[in-house]
Structure 1
Amino acid sequence: MAKDTEKLIRQLSLISYLMAERRPVTAPEIRRDVEGYSAMNEDAFARRFYADRSELEALGIQLSVDKPVEGLAEQENYSLPPENFHLPAIEFSNDELAGLSTALSLLDGEFAYAEPLRLALQQISWGRPSPLNAPEQRSIALGITASAGGHDLSQRLAKIETAIFRRKTIVFDYYTMQRDDLGTRRVDPYQLLFEGGQFYLLGRAHERDAIRVFRLSRIRGKVAYASKAEHDFQRPEEFDPRDYANRIPWQFGEPIGTAEVLIAGRIAWQVERHFGRYGTFRAADAAEGDDGDRVFVTDYADARQLVAWVLGLGEHARLLTPTELVDELDARLALLIERHADGPELAPPIAPEERVVEQNGNGNGRRDAAAIRPERFARLVTLASILITAGRAGERIPAAEVCERLQISEQELQEDIGVLNVVNFGAGSYVLYAEVQEDGMIEADPEAYGDSFARPARLLPVEAKALVAAIDLIGEHIPEDSLTSVRRKVVDALGHDPIREGLQIVTGGGGDADIARSVSTAIVSNRLLTIEYYKENEDVFSERTVEPYALMNGREGWYVAAYDPARGGVRHFRLDRVKRAAIEQTRFTPRAEVDPSRDVEGWPRTGEVEASRRARVWISPERARWAREERSVVEELADGAVVVELSFAGLDWLVREVLKEAGDAAVLEPDDARTAVRVAANRLVRV
């Protein structure tokens, strides 16, 4: 029998024993009665028992220890209060269970934590119709699913997830984009962060003795443990992952200054909604701007990123302070104009065989299997509860159904049943006996001592993490806020927020919760929705009355897919650009020809819209590394610059994208796009 299997049998038998005894027991009693310990000598038992207690504690299962005589381990008494093992009952409404069903149907097989999510749903919906079997909802679609996206990235993610849980220092080769440098990193992993379709690692870098952020797609080769020790570090109590999640690209790194940006009143509502958490806003005084204008005050660590953001807002933003940042903006603006007047000097292209291999780091490809597998302990506890419940009801369960619910193979099911059949604590005190019959049905005979697993166990760390991450990914975009209340109930039942246990989801967009609620209500009730919408690329406001069908997320935020009768087709409206939304009393009959999720595999995931035109854009050697990671490179040049191809439906969008590159990009063709960028840049020059 494998060591891992022996350990699982010991731990499950230990839990059963402590729960059945319902009294404190001594270490000698445990050694005598619990499966797996009796054959050990005293020293071996002491080591194994200590290790098993530590592992159970790491899984969130805390044994109570009473020490009546100081320093004498054999006099310690151990017990397991039911509340330390069983999950408190959580009462969910039908809407909340439907919301959980939606979360699973959207993420199953495409979410890096899909398998632990299934186990978590199995546990928290105990005694209620399982959301695993509910019909799929059609009012929401996901372009961004927090999928690991590829074999190499999946392996890294799984190894890092385990290292965080086990507090193991890891070693890996990392490509630093800013310095164009590949080097070995030794890191204590504290937290995983998912943002903008990418997984990031937060951890203490030994080389700098400071917390650093590493993008998983930039890790090269395998991730390895730095030692064979059981644990290498303890995460500092003061570490708070939210300090890193609530940052914008210009705040990555140590702050070097504070900037003030004047935002025109025309778009101030949108900028404050989207970027308010990255700084503060105040009213502009008479010397700074007009009535209704706002001043955005924000710390920054990367001057170029902040300048690029300001340029991307066009004529609606002006950098006020500090002077050195204003000077840099002016210099980059001059460079932008120059490169669109005379054109950048192009180096000769290099041969295809000499080109830099592109790194596909978008991390959004769909996968058939999740990257993170739950601990087998969690699976065994869940399986035991399923079998005991069925056995006590006198029912047989199809093995195929259990395999589907737990996402395991028939062989894994047979092995797990084999483990459960030998879980005992002496004198014939078994938990259950189960067997897969020839007709494919499982027959279970629960023993009297199966009470330990007849109720749902507490969510283990990876299960809790998966559940809350799934809720945070979808956010308040399920009708009637059902997931918001689910999250609150789960956190209350757990007694802590799993966001601090290793994974934080940061979604695109910002501050659209009120709009999302209105849109969701209109979708569910089939009511017309009137919105005041800001079309950013054309800098115009319009009022639309539309038929809303579904909410959809993408790389830049959340959208409502709606049929616009005035334009005779489906349109997508970004929620953070909806200034106002009103639900009309008039109902509409859903159109059979409208498929709101038709585009979910396209632009929401890739960022590239269908277009009738394509532009060739030169990217400077200094920014070429980022372009290779994010864009479609069509030509490599000898000086390190690259040429990328961008699809666009309107010049306004293309102009904004080039302005955001702050002088490091220049349109080569078409000519009218070059002219449009130059004209837009000239309008931004200070007089």
Structure 2
Amino acid sequence: MSASRTERLLNLLIALLNTKYGLRRSELRDKVYHDTTSSDVAFGRMFERDKGELRHFGFEIETVMDTGWGSDDPATSRYRIGKESNRLPDVSLTAEECTVLILAAQLWEHAALGSAAVNAMRKLQAAGGLVDAELPAGVQPRIRPAGQAFEDLVAAMHARHSVSFGYLAGSTGKEEERLVEPWGLGSRFGQWYLVGHDRTRGDRRFFRLSRITSAVTVLEKQGITAPTAFNVRAELAGLAELPVRTAVVDVVQGKLLGLRKRALAAPGTEPGTEPGAAPGTEPGAAQPDAGRDRLGVPYRDAETLGEELASYGPHVTVAAPPELVTAVRRRLAAAAAFAATPAPPVAFPAGGTGNAKRGRKRTSEDQLKRMLQLVPFLVHNQGLHIRDVAAKFGITRQELEDDLRILICSGLPGGYPDDLLDIRWDDDHVYIIQDLELNRPVRFAVDEACALLTGLETLNGLPELAEGNALESVTLKLMAAAGEEGRQAAQLSGPAVAPGNSATLETARDAIASGAQLRLRYFSPQRDTVSERDVDPLRLYSLDNTWYLEAYCHSAQGLRNFRLDRIEELQPTGLPVSADARPADSFPVKLFTPNDDDTVVVVELTRRGAGLADDYYAEHTAPLPGGGMLAEIRFGSTDWLPMFVAQHGGTARIVQPEALAEASRAWLAAALAQYDD
């Protein structure tokens, strides 16, 4: 959509909103389009496209028929948009309800529905429904991004399109092409699942997103219809958890302390091996090489454990079962093949600054959507400084002024002074005097309703929120405001966010509230060591049900983030926190705190791995053909970069510095060599 088309659509919208009886197409052509050159057929196509765009933005266009006075006076059509057409109803929220709603929206920081949640909150803010609320220090959960496949599936599901993708079948272990009608996405047993109609099999099927082996292709010409009253949470409730099995792995002595902590004695390593032991452990089977220990590791899903074991590279060899050997070797081979291909030229757009969020380039469509939120926001927030308005919408002052200049040139056909939008910002404080019926935002789109309502449902897992009535009351209000789009929120179900270790969480929360210093024993998987540290606890937050403590670490003399499930002991020291302890300015909290001595690494990501740019807070990104990208990322330690590459199995590789890229290739080659026989 070009800038001129954006302005034309805005004028068309204002004209249709401000007519009581409707406007004929000839009137619109003359007064709005000022079209005198194109044919009737060409203008008709353009008009139909524009009507479709306005419907896409949430405005229902009514067609009113004039029957005519006789046979020589044919019927004509007039068009209008009702002033209540698809407008967001008034939503009045208390401070407690706003707190819960902000938490629900912030669940999706980098996940696929992050921008939808932001848009939904802006609409509520534009309607004057939000009040000031303070977020609790100990409850700041987020949903972990589920990769590009998740984003593509959400988009296809809401647009009602079929999809195709490569899938590793659990029953056969073979990769197959699947054609699926996506009905819903949900989290179960720590995994994301797609529920839909498999056209290849002719029946409903569950697809684990971790088993999707290719980019998801959205088939825009193939529509779908989900079953009536479909609820993905109810569908997944009947899904049985995979049984616990034991993997047999050979680990280099003195390495992988974290894996050893949860390992068992490998079957068959003691006298009297039980019948049915895992292959490779029966008497006479090949034994581990010198300098390695044979361990038994419990697991449920070979793909999940395979991702972890692949990241350990040459430090571990899988002996059994065969499906796990295949899962690890496939990832290592894919990573090695990607790392061996010629590197693209490294160039990033000029003028980019830190923390460049991944996403498609802003378009005129984004601008029009923003302007439709901007007008009602200004109506309810008269006199804000232009800098504050730009910050609210996440744009620069220049972008905001470009929006305002288009708005003040838009209005009713004729263009008389009183017929134009009247917005003034001469003194840097923005006022709107004439809004031309754009003073209320449109209803939530499906993805916006899903983002908020799924987030609220996810927060039910936190006892401190579920016990109050604010969560229930704000959910009811949002359901009423969302209407039909709210009912479609049942297509999505988020993961549990309740902490696994509630005792550690309570100790940390009490210390934050009382300002007490803590001493912890912490296992660091990157360093493969356990250390003791004195920390000043600052904030608690989560990704899914993995909780983190943000604290000032006296050993590192800086802010650090500690996973609660890696804290082996946690006790108050009896000392107060130091005066220097301050939380990071950003919210939600970043998992990584940049330092001056970090190494800047250029990483190439395929389309499937593009979400890693957000996960690791890429400072610069540059698109590549085929949907991939280059990302410039800071890493505090480069020792684990080969692990990072192997774990993501052919979707990420190091490009620069060349020494790190070569070290990564050598590391992958050594890991693969273990499986040559």
Q: TM-score range by the shorter chain?
A: 0.5 to 0.7
Residues 110 and 370, structure 1, Cα contact 8 Å, conserved in 2: no
The correspondence for 1:465, drawn from 439, 443, 450, is 450
**Are the aligned partners of 2:385 and 2:430 in contact in 1 as well (CA < 8 Å)?**
yes
- Verify the 8 A CA contact 1:188 1:204 in the aligned structure 2: yes
Shift of 1:91: 1.2
Cα distance change of structure 1 residues 159 and 626 upon mapping to structure 2, 3 Å threshold: closer
Alignment of 1:322-401 (within 5 A): 334-336=275-277, 345=286, 355-358=329-332, 369=357, 376=366, 377-389=368-380, 393=382, 395=383, 397-398=385-386, 400-401=387-388
Assess, with a 3 A threshold, how the Cα gap between structure 1 residues 333 and 475 changes in structure 2: closer, same or farther: farther
After TM superposition, give the deviation of residue 489 of structure 1 in Å.
0.3
CA distance, structure 2, for counterparts of residue 222 and residue 506 of structure 1: 22
8 Å Cα contact 1:464/1:498 also seen in 2? yes
* Alpha-carbon offset, residue 65 of structure 1: 3.1
Q: What SS does the corresponding residue of 1:193 show, helix, strand or coil?
A: strand
Q: Report how far residue 77 of structure 1 moved.
A: 3.5
Shift of 1:409: 4.2
Contact 2:184 2:232 (8 Å CA) reproduced: no
| Cα shift at 1:572 | 7.2
For residue 200 of structure 2, what is the aligned residue in structure 1?
A: 207
Conservation of the 8 A alpha-carbon contact between 2:411 and 2:420: yes
Shift of 1:556: 5.4
CA offset digits 1:452-496 (Å, max 9, x no partner): 222233222332222223323333636434233212101111223
Where do 5+ consecutive residues of structure 2 fail to align? 247-272, 293-309, 316-327, 336-354, 515-536, 551-561, 566-573, 593-614, 616-646, 652-667
Counterpart secondary structure, 2:481: helix
Q: Secondary structure at the match of 1:30?
A: helix
SS in 1 for 2:388: helix
Contact 1:196 1:555 in 2 (8 A): no
| Counterparts of 2:540 and 2:47, CA distance in 1 | 51
1:494 paired residue among 466, 482, 488 = 482
Counterpart CA distance in 2 for 1:129 and 1:61 is: 21
CA offset digits 1:104-142 (Å, max 9, x no partner):
5x54743432222222112223464856x7544213032
1:47 pairs with one of 45, 48, 69: 45
Tell me how far apart the structure 2 counterparts of residues 248 and 333 of structure 1 sit (CA, whole Å). 33
Give the Cα–Cα distance (whole angstroms) in 2 for the partners of residues 596 and 196 of structure 1. 33
1:182 equivalent among 175, 183, 203: 175
Residue pairs, 1:274-293, within 5 angstroms? none
Q: Is the 8 A contact 1:170 1:188 kept in 2?
A: yes
1: CA distance between counterparts of 2:589 and 2:285?
36
> How far has the Cα of 1:184 moved from its partner?
3.6
Match for residue 76 of structure 1? Answer: 77
Counterpart AA for 2:451: A
Structure-2 change in CA distance of 1:42 and 1:189 (3 Å)? farther
Aligned mate of 2:237, from 240, 247, 253: 247
1:233 Cα deviation after fit: 1.1
**Post-superposition offset of 1:225:** 4.5
**Cα separation, 2, equivalents of 1:247 and 1:341:** 38
Cross-structure match for 2:654: none
Structure-1 separation of matches of 2:575 and 2:205: 49
Q: How many residues were matched structurally?
A: 472
Structure 1 residue identity aligned to 2:110: E
Q: TM-score, normalization: structure 2?
A: 0.54
Q: Which amino acid aligns with 1:463?
A: E
CA contact (8 A) 2:108 2:143 kept: no
- What does 1:628-667 align with in structure 2 at a 5 Å threshold? none
* 1:34 maps to amino acid: V
Could you tell me whether the CA contact under 8 Å between 2:167 and 2:175 is conserved in 1? yes
**Any conservation in 2 of the 1:509–1:557 contact (CA below 8 Å)?**
yes
Query: 2:186·2:192 contact (CA, 8 Å) conserved in 1?
Result: yes
The answer as to whether partners of 1:173 and 1:183 remain within 8 angstroms in 2 is: yes
Q: CA deviation at 1:178?
A: 4.5
Contact 2:12 2:32 in 1 (8 A): yes
Instruction: Give the AA of the match of 1:484.
Output: E
- The separation in 1 between residues aligned to 2:359 and 2:231, in whole angstroms, is 22
Partner of 1:432: 421
The Cα RMSD (Å) is: 5.6
Contact 1:35/1:426 (8 A) holds in 2: no
Report the AA paired with residue 420 of structure 1.
L
State the percentage of identical aligned residues. Answer: 19
- State the 1:170 CA deviation: 3.9
Q: Give 1:32 deviation, angstroms.
A: 3.3
Q: 1:233 aligns with which of 223, 247, 257?
A: 223
C-alpha deviations, 1:193-235, integer Å up to 9, x for none? 35566554444444334444444454445444546xxx43142
The residue type paired with residue 391 of structure 2 is E
1:238 is matched by which residue type in structure 2?
Answer: T
Q: Could you say which residue in structure 2 is the equivalent of 1:504?
A: 492
- Say yes or no: does 1:416 pair with 2:406: no
* Cα drift, residue 50 of structure 1: 2.9
Q: How does 1:668-679 map to 2 (within 5 A)?
A: none
**1:403–1:413 contact (8 Å) kept in structure 2:** yes
Q: Is the 2:314–2:674 Cα contact (8 Å) retained in structure 1?
A: no
Q: Indicate if the aligned counterparts of 2:65 and 2:78 stay in contact, CA closer than 8 A.
A: yes
The residue type equivalent to 2:10 in the other structure is: L
More helix by share: 1
Distance in 2 of aligned mates of 1:190 and 1:159: 13
